[in-house]
Amino acid sequence: MTSLLNRLAATVLLAVTAVTAAAAGFSTDDETNNIQVFKQASPSVVYVTNMTVVRDPRSFNLQSVPRGSGTGFVWNDRGYIVTNFHVIEGAREITITLQDQTSWQAKVVGLAPEKDLAVLHIKAPGDKLQPLALGDSASLTVGRKVLAIGNPFGLDTTLTVGVVSALGREIQAPNNRKIRNVIQTDAAINPGNSGGPLLNSEAQLIGVNTAIFSPSGASVGIGFAIPVDTVKRIVPQLIAHGRLLRPVLGIEVAPQQWARRNGIKGVPVLRVMPGLPADAGGLEGIKRNAWGALELGDIIIGVGSQVVENYDDLLAALERHKPGDRVEVAFVRAGEIRQRTLTLAPP
C-alpha cells in the first residue's frame, strides 16, 4: 500500500510540475531546439520577389509588377544569395528583402536549371548578411528531424517542422532533367517556400526546398529538397563561371527518341570529335559499311561506377567528375562489351 501511495504521489507531483512549468512559459527540449534553430537561422533567410515588365493598358507606359515570389538564403557575407532557378526564371528584375526589411536589387550570377539552383548577388554590406552553416546530407537517415523556413503564400519567415521521410528520390528539373538523391520530407512546404533552407536540429543547411507533390498545389506532407552536398558542389561553380561545368568525353550522341524507338539501352555515339578523350580512347560513331548502309557505332553503357541507360544518366555520371579525372568508360561494340580509360576534358 505504501508503494502504491508513493507512486500516486510521484505522478501527482509530475503533473503539478508540468502545469507549473507550462504556466511559467517553460518549453520541452524539442520546443527549445525549434526556437533556437529558428532564432539562429531566420536572419539568413530572404524574401525573393520576381518582377516582370507590363504595359499599362490606359497609359501604355511600361511598369514593373510582381510576377511571383519565393525564398532564398544568404550563402556568404559577400552578398551571394542562393534560391531555386524556377523562382527567378523569366524575371526582368529581382528584389531581395532581408530580415531587417531592407530591399536590394539583385543581379543573376549563375544558373543551373538542371539542378533547379540559382545564385544572385546583392550589394548589401557584410554586417547585414548572416550566412547559414552548411551541414552534410550524406549522413542523413530517415526519421531525422528537419525544419523548413520560408515564405509560403507570401507569409514571410514561416517555420515548419517535420522529419526526413525518404532519401534518394528523383524529381524533374525545370529543363526536364532528373534531379537525383533528393530528400523527401513531411515538413509543410507550400508555394513560396521554394528556394528556402531545410535545416537540421543544429541549424545547419541540409537541403534547398524545391518542390511539393500535391494535386491541389498545397502541402500534403510530401515535399522535396535538393541535398546540401549537391548545393556545395554546384554553387561555387555558379559563382565562378555562371554555369555548371561538366567535363566532356568529346562525342555527339544520337537523339534519345531514336534510341528509345529502337530499344537501345545506353547512349549511342553518333560522332566522335577529333582530338578529344573519346577519340583518344578509340571510340567509334555511326559509319557506313562497304554497301553504303549506316552501321551502329559504340553504345556507352557506363561511366566510372555509374550505369548509363540514357543521355540523362550520362550527364549525371559526368557531373560527378571534373576535368582531368581518369574514368572507365564501358561501351558495347558489335554486341561485345569493352572498356577504355579516358581522361575527361574541360567543357
> Which grid coordinates are listed for 82?
542562393
CA-CA distance, 148 to 160, in Å (whole number)?
Answer: 5
Question: Of all residues in the chain, what percent are helix, strand and coil, respectively (each to 5)?
Answer: 25, 40, 35
Q: Residue 242 gets which letter from DSSP? A: S
Q: Is 241 one of the catalytic residues?
A: no
Is 86 among the residues known to form the active site? yes
CA angle 226, 267, 335 (to 5 degrees): 140
Q: Beta 294-295 vs 197-199: how paired, if at all?
A: unpaired
Which entry of 194, 229, 298, 312 is annotated as an active-site residue? 194
Phi, psi of 331 (to 5 degrees): -150, 160
* DSSP of 251-300: EEE--HHHHHHTT--SEEEEEE-TTSHHHHTT----EE-TTS-EE---EE
What's the sign of the alpha-carbon dihedral 165, 168, 170, 174? positive
Active site residue 64: no
State the catalytic residue, choosing from 44, 116, 121, 137. Answer: 116
How far apart are alpha carbons 39 and 37 in whole angstroms?
6
**How is 64-86 classified by DSSP, letter by letter?**
EEEEEEEEEEE--TTSEEEE-HH
Q: Which residues of 288-312 are buried (b: 16+ CB within 10 A; e: fewer)?
A: eeeeeeeebbbbbbbbbebebebbb
Point out the catalytic residue in the list 86, 156, 165, 298.
Answer: 86
* Residues designated catalytic: 86, 116, 194
